[in-house]
Copies of this chain bind each other. A is one copy, B any other.
């Protein structure tokens, strides 16, 4: 039984320049952390990610949701978590503040993730293992599929999971080899050209075969110059992604993306405003076969559904610490699987939680094991930091979702 609730505002200043992009010049990586303390003494930990300012507001909202779980048994909650999620996210007064977006939804992510962590710890299993052992019906019971009836009913979701039982054994081999990573920290926006070049060399020496550069400069020449530096250092066989962090207008994006195609980017990420579904569609059509990646700022399954329906996203970057937590992340992954679109999460969690989720997506859902973003900056703060060796995430074996922070333990 969940006996006590604690919500903590945890902020971690970064080294100079780290984490910077075209719009976020000086972020403070922060977590609104929910702890659900079970009467067995086990603590379920979950969080949402923010860039500092306002992290306290997410904490306040998380308290509101978490208080409603007091006295509940975690196995009972998770047996029908889809309904729990639906009820929490539609609380009639609080709902006005979204619905299903912004601070209230970040807060719901924090609480939801704490539920999944507690569930896995009580079963003594790493989260990926717990999820992979569930039946299709059990998985779908944890999901809120409301407002997806035109694309994904519970029956269709169960069918999709059952279809992918074939090949599950084979896909489990990834547990031994590990899930590939890609390096986001070679090319933060404020890094000098020299530092970017040096970081590329380092990433390649470490074994990474994919890496990302921040673009979206006021001066497009800077973006083009730096993207060619990365391509030069990386060679043709390495995948190089470019991330504009919403900095372009549609007319700008149409022009600049064409120019950037010269260095053969694997994807172009967040070219413009994350709410502008139709602009992404126009752009995707104009720059095909180059693909767009997006989702870092997309708050819920309904907007992702629209992105998939328009065919504007080549890669979906849902983030379980931005959408309503693990539950909604799985829902979005199922939608993507239906559409044949890879899920490559944005890792506001620094990959701690997502290393579990991509293993589930690959093994149980049949998603391709493409690669998972890797950002090393907060590693020293986690009790069980991700282990990335040779550019590959090593399978986590501790019970839970690897989200415990040292400062709260």
Interface residues of A (CB under 8 A from B): 23-28, 50-54, 56-58, 60-61, 64, 90-106, 146-147, 149-150, 246, 249-252, 272-279, 282, 297, 299-300, 302-303, 305-306, 309-310
Contact = CB atoms under 8 A, between A and B. Distances in A.
- Best-surrounded residue of A101, A249, A274 (most CB of chain B within 10 A): A101
B278 A300 contact: no
B27 A93 contact: yes
A100 B51 CA distance: 15
B96 A50 contact: yes
Given A54-B64, A57-B60, A101-B299, 17 more contacts: A24-B92, A24-B96, A26-B93, A51-B93, A53-B64, A54-B97, A57-B61, A57-B97, A97-B106, A99-B246, A101-B102, A147-B249, A149-B250, A150-B251, A275-B302, A275-B306, A278-B309
Q: How many chain copies does the complex carry?
A: 2
Contacts of A279: 147, 150
Given A24-B92, A27-B92, A250-B149, A50 B274 contact: no
Nearest to A306: B278
A317 to B, nearest CB: 15
A251 B151 CA distance: 10
29 contacts: A23-B92, A23-B95, A24-B92, A25-B92, A27-B92, A28-B93, A51-B93, A54-B64, A54-B94, A54-B96, A54-B104, A58-B97, A97-B102, A97-B103, A98-B101, A99-B297, A100-B273, A101-B102, A102-B102, A102-B104, A147-B250, A147-B272, A147-B276, A149-B249, A149-B252, A275-B306, A276-B302, A278-B305, A278-B310
